[in-house]
Amino acid sequence: MLKEIFIINKGGIGLFYQNFETTGRKDKDLVSAFLKIFQDLTLEYMNQSLRELQVGTDKVIFVSGEPVSFVLKVNSIMPSNKIETRIALLKDRFLRNYTEQLSQNDTEIKNFDAFEKDIKEVFDIKTKTNRKSSERLHDFLGISVTNANLKKLIESL
């Protein structure tokens, strides 16, 4: 069962975040940047990409790559080959759907909200998620991000 997913661009900016387990708020951008730095450090100092990390009863799976990386938290009883197949399918769908936004270095998170449907389909998630990534950011910052570019927003803070 997929519990949480981050899709992070090569600059460490979170393009998509969804928690399928709880409705608690996290600082998506801070966590995304930390995960990207963590991946880069393991590559630099261990000469290999971090692929998996056991955290309690869950696994955190890292799929590094260009132009985006995926970080997923899943139940540790889910077989690795099943996870890898689903992640590959997700990555293909994401790149197919958002190539233009990625080539333009678009970090407007509302442009990626629709990807939740693909995630639910690939991981067979039946629960209804009532908040989109851009809406969660609105909740966190307390401002409307409907027409705001996240990069410009962060620079202005």
Q: Are 23 and 17 in contact (CB under 8 A)?
A: no
Nearest to 64 by CA among 124, 4, 137, 8: 8
Query: In this model, does residue 109 exceed pLDDT 80?
Result: yes
Rounded CA separation 131/15 (Å): 15
The DSSP letter of residue 49 is -
Q: What number is the average pLDDT over the span 111-127? A: 89
- Tell me, what's the pLDDT at 119? 93
- Whether the Cβ atoms of residue 52 and residue 64 lie closer than 8 Å to each other: no
How many alpha carbons lie under 13 Å from residue 121 in its C-beta half-sphere? 9
Query: What are the residue boundaries of the structural domains of the chain, listed by start?
Result: 2-156
- pLDDT band of residue 9 (cuts 50, 70, 90) is confident
- The answer to whether 52 touches 62, Cβ cutoff 8 Å, is yes
What residue type is 77 in one-letter code?
Answer: I
- pTM of this prediction? 0.70
Question: Which residue has better confidence, 69 or 145?
Answer: 69
Q: Answer with the residue of higher pLDDT: 79 or 157.
A: 79
Query: What topology does CATH give the domain 2-156?
Result: Beta-Lactamase (3.30.450)
Tell me what the mean pLDDT of segment 6-27 comes to: 78
pLDDT at position 138 is 55
